[in-house]
Amino acid sequence: MKVVLFGAKGFAGRNVANDLRSHNIDVIESSLSDGLDLRDTAAATAFLQEHQPTHIVNCAAHVGSLNYVTEKAATVVADNSRMILGMYEAIAQACPLALVINPIANCAYPAKADLFREDEWWDGHLHRSVLSYGATRRLLWATAECFQMQYGIRSINLLTPNMYGPYDSTDPNKAHALNALISKFVKAEKTAQAELPIWGTGVAIREWLYAPDFARIVRAVLLQPDRPGLENPLNVAQNDGLSVKELVDIIQSKFDYKGNVVWDHTKPDGAPKKVMDDTRFRQVFPDFEFTDFEEGIANTITYYESVFPY
């Protein structure tokens, strides 16, 4: 097995790289910060021709908070579309027999849905707050299918909830939602902020996936890609969600923060509810155990406490 990991310096990518290396799976890491721009098809083709991977894990993406993907909507949709097309064109030219694993964020599900079932993930418009990024997640699946039709490239698509855990950005406008909350509390406590602003109203309900758990799923797929059920997009799901207000209460209980939490209603909540049906996931991974939420939160707090220079 020879694995290329795109987006290796990003949030999901770093978790995947750590897990694979800790299990003695060699990984060829690549990211924009290392100089490879997937929007440049020629450069991506040369990279893949040089390394000739048998497997590709695609964690490359231009993404951020709800606020970020709205403010930078045109840039986000353009960059991600070009990355997707550049990557698949390069694979077709350089290594069409490689297996591709794509995480597809659940913002690709329709805005009207509150329980996300795989058969229904194209059944309606996207929520406007995630239009720029969600549209490219649907494009990723469509591109994978089209390149399978013409070139025989096999892709496995994993539909993922909101992730949290170590190695995300310290900028709340770039970090994933739960990580942004944790980083705000860490900073507020260390700097004795009088107020801690939280974006939105707190009513939105989300399912949360600990990023190291996602990495474990990727490893399991790499080692056994022919499991029945992986031929179609698969939810990485627990069928469980919490409101942002409940999350804030849990996180706040881990700190000794003395200031006031202030809700900023000018920032978007996003879709009201995003919880994923786990029926098919349990058929494919019947024995998989997710990390306890309290443990995942504690580990994420420890990470942010280690990276903030206060």
Q: Please check whether residue 207 is in contact with residue 161, taking contact to mean a CB–CB distance below 8 angstroms.
A: yes
Mean pLDDT of 147-174: 93
Q: Where are the alpha helices (DSSP H) in the chain?
A: 11-22, 41-51, 66-71, 73-94, 131-151, 177-191, 211-223, 244-252, 279-284, 293-307
pLDDT of residue 309: 66
Q: What is the pLDDT of residues 215-246, one digit of tens each?
A: 999 999 999 999 999 999 999 999 999 998 99
8 A C-beta contact, residue 85 and residue 143 = yes
Query: pTM to 2 decimals?
Result: 0.92
DSSP state letter for 2 = -
More confident residue, 202 or 270: 202
**CA–CA gap between residue 62 and residue 169 (Å, rounded):** 13
Q: Is the pLDDT of residue 175 over 90?
A: no
* Mean pLDDT of all residues in 2-19: 96
The pLDDT of residue 288: 97
Task: Pick the closest to residue 183 from 202, 193, 168, 194 (CA basis).
Answer: 168
Which uninterrupted H or E stretch holds 5? strand 3-6
Reported as a single tens digit per residue, the pLDDT across 186-220 is: 988 888 889 998 888 989 898 999 999 999 999 99
Mean pLDDT to the nearest integer, 112-134: 94
- Ranking 75-79, 109-113, 140-144, 268-272 by mean pLDDT, the lowest is 268-272
pLDDT score for 217: 98
10-24: average pLDDT: 96
- Of the pLDDT bands very low, low, confident and very high (cuts 50, 70, 90), residue 115 is very high
DSSP structure string for 269-287: --SSEEEE--HHHHHHSTT
Q: Quick one: pLDDT at residue 310?
A: 59
**Confidence grade of residue 176 (pLDDT, cut at 50, 70, 90):** confident
Name the average pLDDT for the chain: 93
* 72-90 burial: b if 16+ Cβ within 10 Å, else e: bbeebbebbbbbbbbbbbb
Residue 308: per-residue pLDDT: 76
Query: Would you say residue 173 has pLDDT above 80?
Result: no
What is the mean predicted confidence (pLDDT) over 77-90?
98
- Find the mean pLDDT for residues 149-173: 93
What is the pLDDT averaged over residues 16-45? 95
Residue 149 banded pLDDT, cuts 50, 70, 90: very high
The pLDDT of residue 257 = 87
Percent of the chain residues topping a pLDDT of 90: 75
Residue found by looking up tokens 């591709």 in the block: 100
